[in-house]
Structure 1
């Protein structure tokens, strides 16, 4: 299917020709964002940690995180409507800031997404064994994680339409199951009064911390549940009328997932037979406990299937986003092995970026052989995701204040845009510090020091690696060249970056 004339013309005006298949409607774009944010994956990632730190009062961190991320979407909406390009963080920064800063932002975002894919694949693998009632070894978990990764790569390789079909099927099952289960737990199987939602159950005192510090720690964790909306941007060059539809899709993805996550978080707590067991460390899976306790043992296997579907759809969509981000960098010839990474196959899928993203994600899987190392990667993934949020909102704010950028796309918040942008900088900056702050209470008991410091160490290592490549290969100079030539690196004979 050829791209609509206005979309192709807009892309050409931005310096690129249409290479990917532009066939997504706004619903297809929403599905990408919904799958990556994923209410089931997000809830599983934060529920047990939140309850163990702040008791059942932890749920109040979720609306705080949702509001903060809504501020980020405000900025993203203005940027995406003006420059509807794959690889948003990199593409937008190179139009608002210095080439070096923009390149480093894109580098950070790419590695955050690729290592997040490692985490999702690893967290999905235990559910395969749960389906058959088996207890896996660390090596078996890593092998199954590899299988997940390769399966999702194969689906992505067949192009956006095939990917959309799989992802849409997954989120349909996830959305229906999440809403029905959440409402049933809340309206039919509720065991506790709503006053439970303000009770810390003595969790902060048991950990030797204060209620305020515990709540800040939960906000650091809770932000992870609302970070995938930028997947809508990754498929901007495959979305019809992208300048209008991508901002809409981001809002729908964030708010719909946010509503489902909060609904289910509250429902799980109020239907849980004994929330104090979670605080005491006796129940490491409060979500499944609440569901099985309410519906009976027969519900356990179907629930595991829903969780597996959710993780698979999340990984597929996120992997596709990582591939398109690499494709965006490589076609500007500013990423290692650009000639290979920028390739598009006959299905109009960015196969070079897909292979590269998969190789990087799989290279980190052996960390799963040691739980502390994988735990460090999970912590780093959350921090590394918020760093690009902060950098991008900061760049946008500075450009506004200097008069270098006045939003001129389909979406503009006018005089309120600067205020919203400033609040987004404040939120993301505080969240970066909050996540990177070393806390023993967010690590397992007896965890090694490097897991406690994992967020700061991980961000530092990736940043130093990026700075090293920047100084050695100077991709920023090629970015200056693309700025003057229009940025269309379509010549297959362009020199590769090694």
Structure 2
């Protein structure tokens, strides 16, 4: 076994100079992954789908999603423990398979982070901030608010990684506290007032009698999106590895720990919400069922407190997503493998953050909000659920293909003799997850969008193959992409 390299020497070990500042401790690294997952945000945004498609009993699909995503997290943690670099899957595939495959992983990750960022911030504007301030639903207003959120997040992400970590840790602390408090308060209120029932946990609600409830793509399968759309983004900690202390240990633990913590907390929250439902039909018809349950059981002031807490969680998740996206762009650019790489690879000496790489997702977000019509924007956001499932599945395939070539680092995270059964199980789950997401009717347009975004990247890949082939012939960090006549 090789000893774990000191954090200050990790970048140099893989051929890079240390440009990013290592300021993140163990909890801050954990908070990065947990904030992206954000069970409060995920459940707030998908609980209505659960009630409509399967009824309250659909909450029991959550443990299935948790078990599957935890298997994937364990595989990703194996990679993160051995190659703790910004760019995560791009680096892993480039070094262990070949640079061309690695580029594909990097582009997929970039696409899923961009679509995820737009999903989080647009939902924060329309589902959280506008109701909080008593604004009537209006798509134009929601888009303006989304742009403002993107600008603020970009400013903070550029200013300091440490500032992002501190603010994100605060957001995670608030989310953890508010969800725990709400779980206890809802269960106590339901017991004291008698409004609510344990029988809700096995009720199909408005889906009772549905003819395709158990069918392929039917109600029960469709509700899996609650877990699959929420328990994602845990690999964000791997994208911040070059800014973490003791990354061989802290990053893998953050990846696995965030999924476990979010999964347990989310299950408790789902149970409390479901037990606290007084009138299933009324709550199902509501535009925001979680807020209605809060109002019925705890009063209107509690609903506003919930919206404030959810807003904080939304903002933290969006900020982490933007930062993680910027690190992916930076990682590919310093190897000369991203459009505009000469600009995107630059790191500010003052803030020690990649400014241009952070501005890019901001610009894409602003242009999208201005140019994309309403239905197209919704379909683009929906496509964001497919990207992580596809990416995770490919990472598992990569692991099974190269696992025998991975070094073992003393003291680093390691599954030992369990790695093969875990990886095989994770692959089976990944296939099931993609199938579940594609099964419901109406997924054709999101699938076309996914294919279109991949094709856009494919055009740049063809350009590199034709005119800059040398960039794809070497392992990342081997050569300076700024040098040479073709670069």
The answer to whether TM tops 0.5 is yes
Of 215-224 and 31-40, deviating more is 215-224
Deviations 1:230-258 (A, max 9, x none): 11111110111100111111122111111
Counterpart check, 1:228 vs 2:233: yes
1:470 partnered with 2:461: yes
Unmatched tracts of structure 1, length 5 or more: 441-451
Displacement of 1:229 = 0.9
Structure 1 distance, partners of 2:133, 2:10, is 51
- Structure 1 residue 363, shift from structure 2 partner: 2.5
Q: Are residue 384 (structure 1) and residue 375 (structure 2) matched? A: no
Question: Equivalences for 1:67-216 in 2 at 5 Å?
Answer: 67-126=67-126, 127-190=128-191, 191-203=195-207, 205-206=209-210, 208-210=212-214, 213-216=218-221
CA contact (8 A) 2:396 2:423 kept: yes
In the TM superposition, 1:422-441 aligns within 5 A as 422-440=424-442
Q: Deviations over 1:457-489 (max 9, x none)?
A: 122112222222212222774132245xx4363
- Whether the 8 Å contact between 2:94 and 2:475 is mirrored in structure 1 is no
Q: 1:494 to 1:289 in 2, by over 3 A?
A: farther
Name the SS of the counterpart of 1:229 in structure 2. Answer: coil
Q: Which residue of 1 aligns with 2:355?
A: 351
Alignment partner of 1:60: what SS? Answer: helix
Cα pair 1:36 1:231 within 8 Å, conserved: yes
Q: Give 1:44 deviation, angstroms.
A: 1.6
Instruction: Specify the SS of the correspondent of 1:189.
Output: helix
Correspondence 1:257-276 to 2 at 5 A: 257-276=262-281
TM superposition shift of 1:292: 1.1
2:26 equivalent to 1:26: yes
**Rounded Cα–Cα distance in structure 2 between residues aligned with 1:299 and 1:114:** 33
Q: Which residue of 2 aligns with 1:240?
A: 245
Call closer, same or farther: CA 1:367–1:375 in 2, change over 3 Å: farther
Separation in 2 of the partners of 1:269 and 1:50?
Answer: 11
Q: Is the 8 A contact 1:71 1:423 kept in 2?
A: yes
After superposition, the Cα gap between the structure-2 partners of 1:124 and 1:495, relative to the gap in structure 1 and judged at 3 Å, is: farther
Which residue of structure 2 lines up, in the alignment, with residue 308 of structure 1? 311
Alpha-carbon offset, residue 109 of structure 1: 0.9
Moved more, 45-54 or 201-210: 201-210
Q: Does 1:479 align with 2:484?
A: no
Contact 2:82-2:406 at 8 Å conserved across structures: no
Query: 1:476 and 1:195 mapped to 2: Cα distance?
Result: 63
Shift of 1:429: 1.9
- Give yes or no for contact 1:17–1:488 (8 Å, CA) kept in 2: no
Aligned to 1:394: 397
Of 4-13 and 214-223, the range deviating more from structure 2: 4-13
Per the alignment, do residues 135 and 319 of structure 1 end up closer, same or farther by CA in structure 2, a change over 3 Å counting? same
The aligned residue for residue 447 of structure 1 is none
Match of 2:337 among 321, 334, 338: 334
**Considering only aligned residues, what root-mean-square deviation do their CA atoms show, in Å?**
2.2
Q: Distance in 2 between matches of 1:214 and 1:248?
A: 35
Is contact 2:81–2:248 with CA below 8 Å preserved after alignment?
A: yes
Report deviation, 1:207: 7.2
CA distance in 1, matches of 2:103, 2:8: 25
C-alpha distance in structure 2 between counterparts of 1:269 and 1:495, whole Å? 64
Structure 2 unmatched runs, 5+: none
Q: CA deviation at 1:367?
A: 6.5
Could you report, residue by residue, the CA deviation over 1:28-69 in whole angstroms, capped at 9, with x for unpaired residues? 111111111112111122211111100001111111111111
Q: 1:468 to 1:321 in 2, by over 3 A?
A: same
Q: Within 1, Cα distance between the matches of 2:417 and 2:163?
A: 42
Deviation larger for 423-432 or 232-241:
423-432
2:448 to 442, 457, 466: 457
SS of match in other structure, 1:24: coil
CA contact (8 A) 1:96 1:396 kept: no
Q: Which residue of 1 aligns with 2:223?
A: 218
Give the count of matched residue pairs: 475
State the shift of 1:116 in Å. Answer: 1.0
Question: Partners in 2 of 1:45 and 1:185 — Cα distance?
Answer: 19
Q: What SS does the corresponding residue of 1:431 show, helix, strand or coil?
A: helix
- Please give the alpha-carbon distance, in whole angstroms, between the structure 1 residues aligned to 2:40 and 2:82: 32
TM-score (norm 2): 0.92
Corresponding residue for 1:45? 45
